[in-house]
Amino acid sequence: MKCFGFLFSVFAFFASARADPTWSEVGLAQLSDKNISPLGQTALALKPAEWKHAETPNFIYHFFHGFVAAPVSVEAEFYYRVIAKELEKDTTQWERKSHIFVFERPEDWKAFQQKAALDPWTGGIHSGNDLFLLRDSELKFKGRTLGHEITHLVLHRFFGSGIPLWLNEGYAEYASTRAYASFERARGFRAKPQSQAIAPTDFIPVGKLAGALSYPGEDKQVATFYAESEKLVRFLSATNKPSFLAFLEAMAKGNKFDNALSRTFGSRFTGVDSLEREFKVYASKDYAGE
């Protein structure tokens, strides 16, 4: 598992900064991209007089207090660059910026959840070119929500909306788990990316996981869906990273799981059953990386 390697070693520099040096607070009318999505308009309609706005190279921020949002900009730009590098994609020619809406109070986030009809368990959401998240300034540990949602955003930009649910969530979990552990280490905490073993009784057959069009109905099943998706992404990437990137590209273009697997991992797995036999053993073990 060396795919993030040297990229995380530079995170101490970004994590130690109080804000992105390019952070610039501006009025709503001065933003370089003033196109606010319907979901963004729903957010700004809550306490409309209190929102402030700022920009960094890749993002536009909507927030209530700079001391909360400015540190978010450090993480967001870092995650963005790391994930783009990991996926071997170039973003230098993009001109349109993505919007990040930063909520500070749980009660405001709950009001937004209700207005936007979001699942009550979500702490952040990626929608098209936007991110919406709760960043409670009173919490010492901020969690992986920002990294998870930034990953969704980058995947959407590079590959469009065709990525299957399990692969989208699995890669977001995979990337954010590793990056957040690095962030905590840079702050002096002992942290490693970890994931718990999947109990044999909870294991979701690979074919069922790959074919899911929506999240499971029960909270425990949702947790298993996320955990197993992350493990499958990590397993395939560790098996052969170039093959995994080709697999991701094929899946985003609408290929069926078994066809994409055959085209990219055909020399390793003879089919979905072959993959599942190896992966089930892998998924049954705890993981704690560096």
Say if 165 falls within a structural domain.
no
Same domain for 60 and 135, yes or no, is yes
Same domain for 207 and 133, yes or no, is no
| Token pair recorded at residue 136 | 């409670």
Helix or strand holding residue 132 (H, E): strand 130-134
The DSSP line for 142-188 is --SHHHHHHHHHHHHHHHTT-S-HHHHHHHHHHHHHHHHHHHHHHTT
CA separation, residue 24 to residues 15, 62, 63, 107, 150 (Å): 19, 12, 13, 28, 20
What percent of the chain is modeled with pLDDT above 70? 82
Query: pLDDT value at position 286?
Result: 80
Residue that is last in its domain, among 101, 135, 159? 159
Distance CA 116, CA 238 (A): 38
Same domain for 12 and 108, yes or no, is yes
Helix 241-252 crosses helix 165-186 at what angle (to 10 degrees)? 130
What percent of the chain is modeled with pLDDT above 90? 53
Distance CA 174, CA 105 (A): 28
pLDDT tens per residue, range 61-103: 999 999 999 989 988 888 888 788 888 887 776 777 889 999 9
Q: 132 and 99 in contact (C-beta within 8 Å)?
A: no
Same domain for 27 and 110, yes or no, is yes
Structural domain count, the chain: 2
Say if 183 falls within a structural domain.
no
Same domain for 121 and 239, yes or no, is no
Same domain for 220 and 105, yes or no, is no
Q: In what order do the strands lie in the sheet with 130-134?
A: 24-26, 52-55, 59-63, 98-103, 130-134, 124-127
Q: 58 and 99 in contact (C-beta within 8 Å)?
A: no
CB atoms within 10 A of CB 32: 10
Q: Is the pLDDT of residue 26 over 80?
A: yes
Q: Is the pLDDT of residue 221 over 50?
A: yes
Say if 108 falls within a structural domain.
yes
Angle 144-150-155 from CA coordinates, rounded to 5°: 125
For 146, counting Cβ atoms within 10 Å of its Cβ (0-12 exposed, 13-18 middle, 19+ buried), the class is: buried
CA separation, residue 153 to residues 2, 140, 147, 156, 232 (Å): 23, 25, 10, 5, 20
The DSSP line for 259-270 is HHHHHHHTTT-S
Query: pLDDT value at position 193?
Result: 54
Residue that is last in its domain, among 135, 159, 183? 159
| Token pair recorded at residue 172 | 């977001």
Residues 6 or more apart in contact with residue 113 via CB below 8 angstroms: 119, 120, 122
Say if 171 falls within a structural domain.
no
Q: Is the pLDDT of residue 184 over 60?
A: no
Same domain for 24 and 69, yes or no, is yes
Same domain for 123 and 262, yes or no, is no
Same domain for 29 and 155, yes or no, is yes
Residue 58: CATH number of its domain:
3.40.30.160
Say if 170 falls within a structural domain.
no
Same domain for 110 and 206, yes or no, is no
Residue 264's pLDDT band (cuts 50, 70, 90): very high
Say if 111 falls within a structural domain.
yes
Helix 145-159 crosses helix 66-86 at what angle (to 10 degrees)? 50
| Token pair recorded at residue 36 | 């606010």
Residue 222's pLDDT band (cuts 50, 70, 90): very high
pLDDT tens per residue, range 27-73: 999 999 888 999 999 999 999 999 999 999 889 999 999 999 998 99
Q: Is the pLDDT of residue 137 over 60?
A: yes
Query: pLDDT value at position 17?
Result: 40
Comparing 10 with 107, which gets the higher pLDDT?
107
Same domain for 20 and 148, yes or no, is yes
What range does the domain containing 93 cover? Answer: 5-159
Residue that is last in its domain, among 159, 176, 202? 159
**Which of 4-13, 129-138, 219-228, 263-272 has the lowest average pLDDT?**
4-13
